[in-house]
Amino acid sequence: MGYKVKKNRPWRKHLPQKVRRVQRGYYTKHQSSQRKKIITIIWFILLVLLVQSIFQIKFLQIRDIRILNNQDLLAEEVVQVVEEQINKSKYLIFKNNNYFLLNTKSLEEFLLNNYNLDEVNVDKKFPKSLVITVKEKLSQFIWQKDDTLYLLDAKGALNRQINALDDKYLILEDFRTYQPENEQIFTPDEINRINQIYLGWQELIGAKASLVKISINDSWSLVSLQTKIGFYVKLDATESIDKQLDSLNKVLEGDVVGVDIDYIDVRFGDRVYFK
């Protein structure tokens, strides 16, 4: 009968463990890796500074800005705003005024959003020129409400605010109690009446007396038309404007221009009243 020998030797755990080998060169390789990273960062910084110096040379900085095809728009105002935009920082360390860095599309969008333009085209001309060609929403009228002056387009919407009256535009003096809440000052029907008066006057009366102002109140049945030579005309914009202007034309053909007249009232068909 054999005996089983126990192989567990618990006393072995009390013996010192075998010393592990340390990989030679580990710290050396680690230090070398760190050194390479630092050198790479330094080269990257130097490269960035080099690129920055190249992009910031005066030869490539946009300094000549020209505005073409503007009529109502003040070129000096647009140039100043564009200069402010292109002198802003780009990517933190660059400026936007470099010929190669300037994004013309974003500048076009900015101008379209901030000015009343139908179209705008920004072209770069090497090495430092910017040519901005605009197509404006042209104004025909000045809207005068209290002490406020705005240019209006042909559809009766606000164009931009101005500081003083200008003889190039017909003044729409607004005495209505209605206060516009958005850019649309007149409804399509109202602006259609105004355009009928304006165009009809130009065709029939313009050679005899220039129209400078249309005064509008809550009732369109009484619209006052101020002439440049002094007298004004009372007109009913709810009736046929062409017939009333034709009656006025016949009166003016009778050499009344120059006579001391306060107003001419053409609202009552064939009967025309003077004062």
Based on the fold, state whether residues 97 and 213 are members of the same structural domain. Answer: no
Residues 109 and 213 in one domain: no
What mean pLDDT is reported for the chain? Answer: 82
Is residue 221 pLDDT above 90, yes or no?
Answer: yes
What CATH number is associated with residue 130? 3.10.20
Q: Residue 241 and residue 109: Cα distance in Å, rounded?
A: 42
Q: Which amino acid is at 38?
A: I
Q: Say what the pLDDT of residue 38 is.
A: 76
Residue from 102, 115, 2 nearest 69 by CA: 115
* 147: in domain: yes
Expressed as residue numbers, the domain containing 69 is: 58-136
Terminal C-alpha separation, the chain: 152
Going by pLDDT thresholds of 50, 70 and 90, the confidence category of residue 179 is confident
Query: Domain for residue 232, yes or no?
Result: yes
218 and 118 share one domain: no
Higher pLDDT, 97 or 188: 188
CA angle, 66 as apex, 56 and 142 as ends, to 5°? 130
Q: Indicate if 192 and 128 belong to the same structural domain.
A: no
If asked whether residues 180 and 266 sit together in one domain, one would say yes
Asked if residue 255 and residue 145 are part of one domain, the reply reads yes
130 lies in the same domain as 147 = no
pLDDT confidence band for 114 (50 / 70 / 90): confident
DSSP code string of 228-251: TTS-EEEE-TTS-HHHHHHHHHHH
Burial class (CB in 10 A: 0-12, 13-18, 19+), 112: middle
Instruction: Indicate whether 248 belongs to any domain.
Output: yes
Residues 268 and 143 in one domain: yes
13: pLDDT strictly greater than 60: no
For residues 128 and 240, state if they share a domain: no
What mean pLDDT do residues 74-88 have?
89
* Cα 250 to Cα 242: distance, rounded to the nearest angstrom: 12
Q: Specify if 211 maps to a domain.
A: yes
Based on the domain organization, do 132 and 143 belong to the same domain?
A: no
Model confidence at 260: pLDDT above 60: yes
How many folded domains does the chain comprise? 2
pLDDT tens, position by position, 85-94:
888 766 545 6
Whether residue 89 is found in the same domain as residue 204 = no
d(CA 271, CA 263): 14
174 phi and psi angles, rounded to 5 deg: -105, 110
pLDDT band at 128 (very low <50, low <70, confident <90, very high): confident
